[in-house]
């Protein structure tokens, strides 16, 4: 059965999934997290005051004064580069008076992008307790890695935090409890709580995951609400090859399940 499935493989452009992983890596750092807090607070203040975006010298000063973080301008530049590469922060040019210079000079300043966190598509509030939970789930997922197993962690809803390790010789079916028959349960199954009410409401599991030849694949045979990698919908009935660190979404919006897939 798998050989015929592989012949119909669809390769998803996983640029969006890669960017999500970049954002996770960029924010999961004390210095960069503090920089984002500084930029956020400055932009909130800007809404009521005539205040310019912050440039590097100002950011360094606030890091030292408010966070007791002392780094060189060169190191700050590396952190800003990583935040920009992750599409979280953008660089703008402004006129500003700088120390030891007469008159205003053109300097590079930084602001958080308006859509910086939209494509994480998780029900989290930026810089809230939920974001810390998000990183805890990410770290928990990493603990299960060994050999060439695929590790799945549920990132939202009632089952948030549940982690499953799938070996290469196993096929796993994923769906709501209500959608599984006795025949389905003879296989390795991940049973999602019925509160994920937009996960396929047809009488079969939403998704199948397996390893074959050169990688891990998923097949959505005929779910009612679709499967997405990032914002890209998986073509039904055809095997889709996964890339490491993919976010799978079983349907979209409220009632869907977000699953982080690493190998």
Specify the CATH number for the domain of residue 83.
Answer: 1.10.10.10
- Asked if residue 250 and residue 150 are part of one domain, the reply reads yes
**Residues 6 or more apart in contact with residue 151 via CB below 8 angstroms:** 141, 144, 145, 163, 164, 165, 166, 261, 262, 263
Give me the pLDDT at residue 118, please.
Answer: 63
Domain-terminating residue out of 91, 120, 149: 120
- Asked if residue 254 and residue 134 are part of one domain, the reply reads yes
- At 151 the three-state DSSP class reads strand
- Asked if residue 88 and residue 149 are part of one domain, the reply reads no
Gap between the terminal Cα atoms of the chain: 23
Domain-terminating residue out of 87, 120, 153: 120
- Asked if residue 225 and residue 134 are part of one domain, the reply reads yes
Give me the pLDDT at residue 204, please.
Answer: 76
- Asked if residue 151 and residue 36 are part of one domain, the reply reads no
- Asked if residue 111 and residue 195 are part of one domain, the reply reads no
Give me the pLDDT at residue 173, please.
Answer: 92
The count of structural domains within the chain is 2
| pLDDT of the chain, 263 residues: tens digit per residue | 455 555 556 555 555 556 677 777 788 788 998 999 899 888 876 665 556 889 999 999 999 999 899 999 999 999 999 999 988 999 998 887 777 777 678 888 999 987 777 655 443 444 445 555 666 777 777 777 777 789 999 988 899 889 999 999 999 999 998 877 777 777 788 999 999 988 887 667 899 999 998 899 999 988 989 999 877 899 999 999 998 888 899 998 788 898 988 88
- Asked if residue 245 and residue 197 are part of one domain, the reply reads yes
- Asked if residue 256 and residue 225 are part of one domain, the reply reads yes
């Amino acid at each position: 059965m798998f050989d015929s499935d592989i012949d119909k493989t669809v390769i998803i452009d996983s640029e969006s999934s890669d960017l999500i992983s970049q954002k996770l890596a960029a924010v999961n750092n004390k210095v960069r997290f503090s920089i984002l807090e500084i930029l956020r607070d400055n932009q909130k203040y800007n809404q009521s005051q005539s205040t310019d975006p912050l440039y590097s010298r100002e950011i360094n000063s606030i890091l030292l004064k408010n966070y007791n973080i002392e780094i060189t301008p060169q190191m700050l530049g590396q952190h800003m580069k990583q935040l920009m590469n992750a599409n979280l922060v953008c660089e703008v040019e402004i006129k500003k008076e700088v120390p030891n210079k007469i008159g205003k000079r053109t300097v590079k300043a930084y602001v958080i992008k308006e859509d910086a966190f939209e494509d994480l598509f998780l029900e989290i509030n930026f810089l809230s307790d939920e974001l810390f939970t998000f990183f805890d789930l990410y770290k928990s997922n990493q603990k299960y890695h060994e050999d060439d197993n695929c590790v799945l962690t549920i990132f939202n809803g009632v089952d948030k935090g549940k982690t499953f390790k799938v070996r290469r010789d196993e096929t796993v079916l994923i769906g709501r409890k209500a959608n599984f028959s006795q025949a389905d349960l003879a296989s390795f199954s991940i049973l999602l709580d019925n509160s994920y009410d937009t996960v396929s409401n047809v009488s079969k599991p939403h998704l199948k995951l397996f390893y074959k030849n050169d990688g891990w694949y998923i097949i959505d045979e005929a779910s009612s609400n679709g499967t997405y990698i990032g914002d890209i919908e998986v073509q039904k009935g055809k095997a889709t090859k996964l890339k490491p660190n993919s976010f799978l979404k079983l349907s979209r919006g409220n009632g869907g399940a977000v699953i982080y897939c690493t190998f």
